[in-house]
Amino acid sequence: MNNYNPFSLKGKTILVTGASSGIGAATAIECSKMGASVIITGRDETRLEETLQALAPNEMAHNMIVADLTKDEDLENLVQSLPLLDGCVNNAGVVGLVPTSFLSVEKIVRMQQINLNVPMLLTKLLVKKKKLKNPSSIVFTSSVAGVYRVSMGNAIYATTKCGIDAFMRTSALELAAKGIRCNSVNPAMVETRILNRGQLTPEQYELDKQRYPLKRYGKPEDVAWGIIYLLSDASSWVTGTALKLDGGMTLE
């Protein structure tokens, strides 16, 4: 009984997209610590290699595949090269503030392509090419934005996250018969390099943290651990669920 751990990923093969930094990198690393064979993908080869080197060694090998998933050829080649998967973390995404009066087709399409189209098309190909085991788990990195709250200048991003949660629930319904569970994690603000873009001062960030009952932003590992739960057998009766990870921020 000492080795009993329903959250273990030992023996599982997990694909993580957007794994070159932030939540994706943390998820890949934490999955490897839980015993998984991790396949990481992203556009930045140098940073992807850094993630690969940080993966915990275990009984199963890890692998990295450099790909720009907005390109049809890269997406097809990625799926073609994959082994059978126990899980997929659709994490690749971008952020950006655009006030409504400054919206443009170009800005809408760019964010929608990465945040919404890519995970939808990757999921389609994984199912069509029979790359997911029965049972298996797909986890989408969504957000509290749009799904639980809105904020100034966040219309495009929030819309893509509402879309990905809707797709997650639809996929959960459609793919249940194949033994494929679909869920999402919905974090609030997380401490990643995205925060270093100069949109707010350090003092403004500290003030913003006071809106959170737990008085801090999340860490990438906080989100990774939620993802691990949804990948693991501990959540074998969970599908179509959006797991809110927000330090209590949306309570008010």
Which tens digit of pLDDT belongs to each residue from 21-50?
Answer: 999 999 999 999 999 999 999 999 999 999
Upper half-sphere CA count for residue 156 (Cβ side, 13 Å): 23
Question: What is the reported pLDDT for 199?
Answer: 64
Confidence at 59, pLDDT banded by 50, 70, 90: confident
Name the burial class of residue 26, with classes exposed (0-12), middle (13-18) and buried (19+) by CB atoms within 10 angstroms of its CB: buried
8 A C-beta contact, residue 74 and residue 68 = yes
CA-CA distance, 129 to 202, in Å (whole number)? Answer: 47
Catalytic residues, by residue number, are 157
Question: In the predicted model, what is the mean pLDDT of residues 222-242?
Answer: 98
Does the pLDDT at position 1 exceed 60? Answer: no
Output DSSP code: residue 186.
Answer: E
List, in sequence order, the alpha helices (H) in the chain: 22-33, 45-54, 72-81, 105-112, 118-128, 155-175, 202-209, 220-231
For residue 205, pLDDT over 90 is answered with: no
Q: Which residues pair with 139 in a beta bridge?
A: 89, 183
Please tell me the predicted confidence (pLDDT) of residue 197: 54
Helix (H, G, I), strand (E, B) or coil at 107: helix
* Angstrom distance (rounded) from CA 122 to CA 80: 11
pLDDT at 204: 87
> What is the model's pTM?
0.96
Residue percentage of the chain with pLDDT more than 90: 89
Q: What percent of the chain has pLDDT over 70?
A: 97
Q: Going by C-beta distance under 8 Å and a sequence separation of 6 or more, which residues neighbour residue 95?
A: 157, 194
Q: What was the pLDDT predicted at 3?
A: 85
- Alpha carbon of 201 to those of 6, 196, 208: distances in Å? 42, 9, 11
